[in-house]
Structure 1
Amino acid sequence: MAGSIMYLKTHTSDGTLLIAICDRELIGQTFSDGLLTLEVSEFFYRGEIASSSDIRDALEHAMVANLVGERSVGHALEGGFIIEENILIIDGIPHAQMATAASLPVNASGATDVIGRD
């Protein structure tokens, strides 16, 4: 069942745990819809082969996550880590990002700065 394989890779920067999860068959490909381009690089996404429970555990502990592919994004959606409205479709490929409140920058007044929100 090679088509059901997902990769999970962890990255750490300044104490922030970021995970990258993608469907195996998307590794090394680039997708574009004319406005957005998504590069599924081996460096960033190709980690260990992960089961559904590995993905869930990683999402529970991650501060930031990048997800690419139907299965990877689907697991995050089913687990309540992301919402459907925040899933982008780039050249037919689902892509989503997750950030916990602890990973968002806080401004001088103590409020969380959220980029792209009014």
Structure 2
Amino acid sequence: MIVHERETPEGLLVAICDDDVLGETFEEDDLSLTVTEEFYGGDETDERGVIDSLSRATVANIVGTQAVELAIEEGFIDEANVLEVDGTHHAQLLRMY
């Protein structure tokens, strides 16, 4: 999986995607999701690295079946809040303090 972290005035923004979806566009009905290198490109990491990033994130965007399933398994995302767009999964996390 690929993780890109950015510090913002509002907190840590984390973008996570499966390796095989980077650069892809998924379209379904009126939805379009492009997994750009600019936003999602970052460092390859293992599950532990993804979990570490999610545990510190204020906001996270997660794309890809593997990444979203890991976020669900670890309790960061509720499965009921996952979107499926053209065969891939997308979820967002917003942590409010």
User: Within 1, Cα distance between the matches of 2:70 and 2:41?
Assistant: 18
The answer to whether the aligner puts 1:92 opposite 2:59 as a matched pair is no
Q: What are the ranges of 5 or more consecutive residues in structure 2 without an aligned counterpart?
A: none
DSSP 3-state at the match of 1:37: strand
State the alpha-carbon separation in 2 of the partners of residues 64 and 15 from structure 1: 9
1:40 aligns with 2:40: no
User: Shift of the alpha carbon at 1:15?
Assistant: 4.3
How much is the aligned-residue C-alpha RMSD, in angstroms? 0.8
Moved over 2 A (4+): none
> Which structure carries more relative contact order (alpha carbon 8 Å, separation 6+)?
2
Q: Bigger radius of gyration, 1 or 2?
A: 1
SS at match of 2:38: helix
Instruction: Please list, as runs of the form range in 1=range in 2, the aligned pairs for 1:62-77 lying within 5 A after superposition.
Output: 62-77=57-72
Relative to the length of structure 1, the TM-score reads: 0.79
What is the percent sequence identity of the aligned residues? 40
Q: Which moved more, 1:75-84 or 1:6-15?
A: 6-15
